[in-house]
Structure 1
Amino acid sequence: MATSESLPALPCPIAPYVPQRQDMCLLDRILAVDDVSLRADVMPGADDLFATEVGIPGWTGLEWLAQAVAAWAGWHAAAQGEAPAIGFLIGTKRFETTREHLPPDRTYQVTIRLDFRADNGLGHFRGEILDDEGRCLAAGTLAVFQPPPNEETQP
C-alpha cells in the first residue's frame, strides 16, 4: 500500500481507498483530500447498481456520502502504509435531498468534512452532493464508527 510519499496525484481513482469492491464501489475519483475533508465525483450510468427506469434514487446520495467518508479514512490509512479498514455508518441526521431521482450520465460532486473524530472510533461528518452547476442536491450529517485495529471486524 502507498505511503504519504507515494500517494498518487489527484484526481485519482477512488477504488483503492475504500473497502467496497466491484459494483459496490459507487464513487469514481478523489478530486481533493486533506486532513479534514474529501471531494470526490461520481457519474452513475443507467446501468448503475441502484438505477431505476426513472433515474438514481435520491437516497443513494447517503451511500455516496458514506463512501466518501470511507475514502477519506482509506486515504489517510494509505498515507500510513495501511489498507482501507471496515467502517460503519451508524446514523444520519437531517439527510435531505432536493430530488426524488437523479439523472444518470451526469457528474456529481460529493464532499464530506470532518466535524470530530474520537479516540474510540466514533466520528461525525457533514456532507453534500452538488450537480455540475454547483447546486446542492443533497446534504446531511453522518455518524460513523471505525473499530480500532485490534477490534476490527473481518469482512
Structure 2
Amino acid sequence: MTPWPIASLLPHAGNMILIDEVRGYDADSLTARAVIRPGPYSLPDGSLPPWLGMELMAQAVGAWAGCQARQAGEDVKLGFLLGTRRYECHTGALPAGAAVTVHVQRGLIDASGMSVFECELRDETRLLAHARLNVYQPRDPQAFIQEESPV
C-alpha cells in the first residue's frame, strides 16, 4: 500500500480511475488491485470488454510513475500510452465484481522519457491478460500536447 490515495497518483478523475489501490511498488515495478465495476465502457452485463485490460495496465504504469514522483517530492506528470507489442487476453470479458491484480515491471527506460513495461492482469486463479506496453512521459507534457496555431 502507498501513503498516497490512488487519485493523487493518476491524472484521471472519477469513474475513469479503474484501479483501486497500489499494493506495493519499488524502483522498477508496481502491483495494483482493481475490482471490475460498471462504468462508461461497460458491456450491458456490467463486465468490461477484454481490451480494457490494457487500460488497467496503463493505469498501473501511471500509478508507478506517480509513486516515483511523490517519493521524490515532485508533481505527478501526464504520461502517454503509445501502444503495445502484443496484448493477449485470455478471457472474453472482465466480469463485473471480479477482483484483479495488475503487475507492471519496467524493462527499459531512456533519458527521453520512453519506457517499456511488461504487464500482467490476473484474477485469483489465472492469468487473464499480458502485454508489453510502450509509454512516454515527456519532461514538459503541456508543451508536448500544445497545438500549434494554423498558419
TM above 0.5: yes
Aligned to 1:146: 137
For the pair 1:22 / 2:10, whether they are aligned, the reply is: no
SS in 1 for 2:87: strand
Kept after mapping to 1: 8 A contact 2:36/2:94: no
Q: Amino acid of the residue matched to residue 48 of structure 1?
A: G
Aligned to 1:119: 111
Q: Gaps (5+ residues) in structure 1?
A: 1-6
Q: Amino acid of the residue matched to residue 147 of structure 1?
A: P
Q: Gaps (5+ residues) in structure 2?
A: 147-151
The separation in 1 between residues aligned to 2:35 and 2:40, in whole angstroms, is: 12
Matched ranges for 1:1-155 at <5 A: 8=3, 13-45=5-37, 47-54=38-45, 55-133=47-125, 135-149=126-140, 151=143, 153=145
Kept after mapping to 2: 8 A contact 1:111/1:128: yes
Aligned to 1:4: none
* CA pair 13-105 structure 1, distance change in 2 beyond 3 A: farther
Q: Amino acid of the residue matched to residue 57 of structure 2?
A: L
Kept after mapping to 2: 8 A contact 1:13/1:28: no
Question: Percent identity at matched positions?
Answer: 34
Using structure 2 for the length normalisation, give the TM-score: 0.88
> How far off its partner does 1:153 sit?
4.2
Q: Amino acid of the residue matched to residue 38 of structure 1?
A: L
SS in 2 for 1:138: strand
The separation in 1 between residues aligned to 2:62 and 2:144, in whole angstroms, is: 15
The separation in 2 between residues aligned to 1:15 and 1:72, in whole angstroms, is: 13
> How far off its partner does 1:13 sit?
3.7
Aligned to 2:149: none
Using structure 1 for the length normalisation, give the TM-score: 0.86
